[in-house]
Amino acid sequence: MTGAAALRATHARAALGVTVAAVAIATLLPAPGAAAKAAVLAALVAVLGLPHGAVDHLEGQTLLAPRVGRAWWLVFGALYVAAATVVVAAWLLWPPGLLVGFLLLAAGHFGAEDVAADPAAPRGPLRVLEAGLRGAIPVLGPVLFHPERTGELFAYLLPGSSAAGVQAVLVPLAWGAPVFAGALAAFAVIAWASGRRGTAVEVLALTVAVGVLPPLLAFVVYFCLWHAPRHTLTVAARLSPADARRGLIRFARAAWPLTLVTIAAGTLAWWGLTGAVNAVPAAIATVFVGLAALTVPHVVLAALHARSHIATAT
């Protein structure tokens, strides 16, 4: 039998090792081309990132089955697809609003899950502050540390905008980079001093990764190495509280069908888009607009789960 805490510790060590290796490789080798970065993004998000959301139906079953009975999956599927469709439609109608909303929601989701996986995290307002700061690393970090490259990527998600136009908005924000880096360094020092050494090292490593790596690769590092495996371990522990390894097997069995469906849908969307734009912008738009569409129902379910957890714990 394998305990959930032991698996979490193994994950943190492995993720840290790969993050440090990615930073070292990036400083030694020449930067990869745009097509290589987009291919790495699409492949790793599909294989390592998507499965953690492809088990949302388990949450849906817990919430809906007591209310609507055996047809829970029909109601769940309809609600999930409707939410995703509304996001894509709203994105087409008002792209800047949706992009900003997505970035804020993502930072909140990332931070909340990182803090939830950290038994030594504080409670109360300090917890919210810590979640905001940690969640901002993968989202605000690229904007502040690489405004030009991030502006180019955001432009792919804002139909009708130009890279120069978006960069003109982001580049003036770069004064915030040293402030943000300073806040993260201060957090790491406080975390270290209060005995949370793992958290301190993780925050420093992720800050350096976001500072050094191109935005797409930094996102892959955070999302595929830290966020998705962490969520996976949480779900695995829920599926088999006594034996986390068995929980992982159950997780894999539950995740593969919807992962494959989502990959197929994404490939179709990318193929459709390549008629209108080049393959690289089409891949980036497919990955991020697709993630945004799935993130809304995914985050709502994670929040509902956290709420029911608090309600049963108190």
Ligand X SMILES: CC1=C(/C=C/C(C)=C/C=C/C(C)=C/C=O)C(C)(C)CCC1
For ligand X, the binding residues (CB under 6 A) are: 53, 102-103, 106, 109, 139, 142, 150, 153, 157, 215, 219, 288, 291, 295, 298
CB nearer to ligand X: give 4 or 136.
Answer: 136
CB nearer to ligand X: give 12 or 153.
Answer: 153
Q: Is the separation of the CB atoms in 203 and 135 below 8 Å?
A: no
Beta carbon of residue 281, minimum distance to ligand X (angstroms, whole number): 12
Task: Supply the DSSP string of 254-297, one letter for each residue.
Answer: HHHHHHHHHHHHHHHHHHHHTTTS-HHHHHHHHHHHHHHHHHHH
Beta carbon of residue 109, minimum distance to ligand X (angstroms, whole number): 5
Using Cβ positions, the residue closest to ligand X within the complex turns out to be 106
Does 309 count as an annotated binding residue? no
Does 11 count as an annotated binding residue? no
CB nearer to ligand X: give 72 or 156.
Answer: 156
Question: How large is the greatest C-alpha to C-alpha distance in the chain, in angstroms?
Answer: 57
Beta carbon of residue 84, minimum distance to ligand X (angstroms, whole number): 13
Beta carbon of residue 3, minimum distance to ligand X (angstroms, whole number): 25
Closest CA to 203 of 141, 125, 126: 141
Beta carbon of residue 205, minimum distance to ligand X (angstroms, whole number): 17
One-letter identity of residue 182: G
CB nearer to ligand X: give 200 or 281.
Answer: 281
One-letter identity of residue 282: A
One-letter identity of residue 110: F
**Helix, strand, coil content of the chain in percent (nearest 5):** 85, 0, 15
HSE, CB side, 13 Å, CA atoms: give it for residue 224: 18
CB nearer to ligand X: give 65 or 103.
Answer: 103
Does 305 count as an annotated binding residue? no
Does 52 count as an annotated binding residue? yes
Number of CB atoms found within 10 A of residue 306's CB: 13
Known binding residues are: 52, 109, 227, 231
Q: Which residues are annotated binding-site positions for Fe cation?
A: 52, 109, 227, 231
